[in-house]
Chains A and B, each alone.
Chain A
Amino acid sequence: MTTTARAISFAPVQTSVSSTVVLDDLSKSFSKQRGWRAVLTRKSHESVRALSGVSCEIRAGEFFGLLGENGAGKTTLFKILATLVTPDVGTAMVSGYDVVRAPERVREVLAPVIADERSLHWRLSARENMRLFAALHGLRGADASRRVDDLLALVNLVEAADRQVSGFSSGMKQRLLVARTLLARPSVLLLDEPTRSLDPISARAFRTFLRNDVALAHGCTVLLATHNAEEAFELCDRVGVLHRGRLVAVGQTSELAREVGEDRFALWVRPADQVAIDALVSRGVIRDAKAFVAAEEGWWRVECDLRGGLEGAAEAVAYLARAGVSVARCEPVKLSLADLLERVLERHTAAGA
């Protein structure tokens, strides 16, 4: 990896022989579609860089999250691993098999959970969908039937097994997609935004299912692409942050949350004294403060990035009290994914500089 593309590590990355997925300097560009005028005037091809020098190792049995905004390269990376797209440069190895040189072997050990409900055969029942893919994964006869029944039971679809999939809810379809993927007993599972079409309660239940019944029970290595920070923090052992095709950060989820997110606090104050907040900023106690938001019964809420964690919070509260500002509450705030990514990118830019 080049200096500017160096991923910030939040914890020592252990290189291990048990790495299941190894990415080395992986790059991929796509040509922009040209209009007829560009074709006729022989204008040169413009391309969009989807991945650039991505290197990373994911260990066996690990739950690895990929974070990044739309167009960051997450889906391209997954498609390369699923052998649906070939990289321009670099290598991607899955369980020792090169995705370009041995795609058939890769497909035997890696399974993408294509979260798109359309990838199911809607006119078929859940059981028939499962039987079709069992056959495509080489399962036959009683072995296939047993496996299908077991997996339908695992995803709690036994009662609906013989119903046409077109009548399923989104949650049922998502569970069926996962069951279909597990038919192959994959050692690596790719999950691309698996809960995007689920309501919060179903999403939480689905995450519990992924963690307990898929990752832990089956011992799968799971790569999860998500826009949901809560999902990443709840499920993943480590996360990587992709930005414009570059892997700008890789680290333990807890480390990442602590290092970039543990200094965000919300203060309930009265009155909304901007001068006092500015003074804290100039004293270096507060790194950054957002605008006051009216809370309840005359109290104002302001979110601040405090230096020094709890010590900094104590210092800020004491200063505000001395300045005649009452503080009713001071509590840590979980960063949104957008804030988290913004901070990671700030660090990445600073490291590059």
Chain B
Amino acid sequence: MHKVWALIRASWLAASSYRLGIVFSFGSLVLSIVPIFFVTRALQPTMANVIRGQGEQYFAFLVVGLISLNLVSSTIYALPGGLQNATSTGTLEALLATPTPVSALLVGLSGYEILFSLIRGALMLIAAGFLGARVEWLQLGASIPIVALVVLAHLPIAIITAAMVLAFRTRGPLPQLVLLLSTFLGGVYYPTTVIPGWMESVSAFIPLTYGLTALRAVLLEGQSMASVWQELVILVGITIVTTLLSGWAFRAALSYARRVGNLAQY
């Protein structure tokens, strides 16, 4: 854990050395919430029935969806991005030459982006609260394990993408595919119940579908964790299976890269 924190701290120090970038990042967050507020207020009469049982206020519904989508995007792209960055800047070879477990390197290289996304998400939720989003603030603590599970469920996709980067120097289509499906079929902008026919069955294979259902139930409806146990069990199942698969893929990619000698090549 000490090694993971050291890597996250180094990423933070590097990122914070670009002070203007940090300012713009938080500034754009605040600015983006304002148009969302007005657009969702206009759509509220139309969406009220559709989102019944998931908060009933479309502004809060969409804000939770967008925060989760941003988190999923950061989780999926942080690790392969960190790996590509470390390769192109030349730091990867030095990191790999230390007696640091590969798992610690992976978490350390992606940890800052995910934490930064979590902080941005928390700030966005607070800003939304100021604009009148109906959030069960006392349920924030209960939502943390769900958020953690959403991250864990998408980490294997990041690891498989990182394996592609390591072996073939390309991210491949997987992260874009997952993000595209999550955006349109994962219940970010509208509940999956409004998706027609066979497309709705696709959403059953998207982890974000279950994460958002559970998160909105707890955070917007004030339900207990026990009431969303089915979603949580499915998320845990997806996480276990994909983690095993991604672990195998990454080990294979590492072995391949060591064999062909392109482990730290740009």
Contacts and interface: CB of A to CB of B under 8 A. Distances in A.
Interface of A: 28, 30-31, 50, 76, 79, 82-86, 104, 107-108, 111-112, 114, 116, 118-124, 128, 131-133, 135-138, 140, 164, 180, 184
B93 A135 contact: no
A131 B6 contact: yes
B99 A118 contact: no
Given A119-B93, A121-B14, A124-B10, A184 B260 contact: no
Interface of A is mostly: mixed
B99 A104 contact: yes
B98 A137 contact: yes
B230 interface: no
Contacts of B10: 121, 124, 128, 132
A53 B14 CA distance: 44
A313 to B, nearest CB: 48
Interface of B is mostly: helix
A135 B99 contact: no
Contact of B258 (A31, A85, A111): A85
A19 to B, nearest CB: 22
B232 interface: no
B91 A121 contact: yes
A119 B94 contact: yes
B91 A123 contact: no
A79 B2 contact: no
A116 B263 contact: no
A31 B99 contact: no
A114 B260 contact: no
Contact of B261 (A30, A83, A119, A133): A30
Contact of A84 (B5, B91, B96, B100): B96
A195 B64 CA distance: 55
Interface residues of B, number: 30
Nearest to A129: B10
B214 interface: no
27 contacts: A28-B261, A30-B260, A30-B261, A79-B261, A84-B93, A84-B264, A104-B99, A108-B99, A111-B97, A116-B90, A118-B90, A120-B91, A121-B10, A122-B89, A123-B14, A123-B18, A131-B6, A132-B6, A133-B94, A133-B98, A135-B2, A135-B3, A136-B3, A136-B6, A136-B7, A138-B2, A184-B98
Contacts of A132: 6-7, 9-10
Given A122-B89, A132-B10, 8 more contacts: A82-B97, A86-B258, A112-B97, A119-B93, A120-B94, A121-B14, A124-B10, A124-B17
Contacts of A31: 260
Interface in B80-94: 89-91, 93-94
Residue from B96, B97, B98, B255 having most chain A Cβ neighbours under 10 A: B97
B99 A138 contact: yes
Nearest to A125: B13
B250 to A, nearest CB: 15
B163 to A, nearest CB: 17
B112 to A, nearest CB: 13
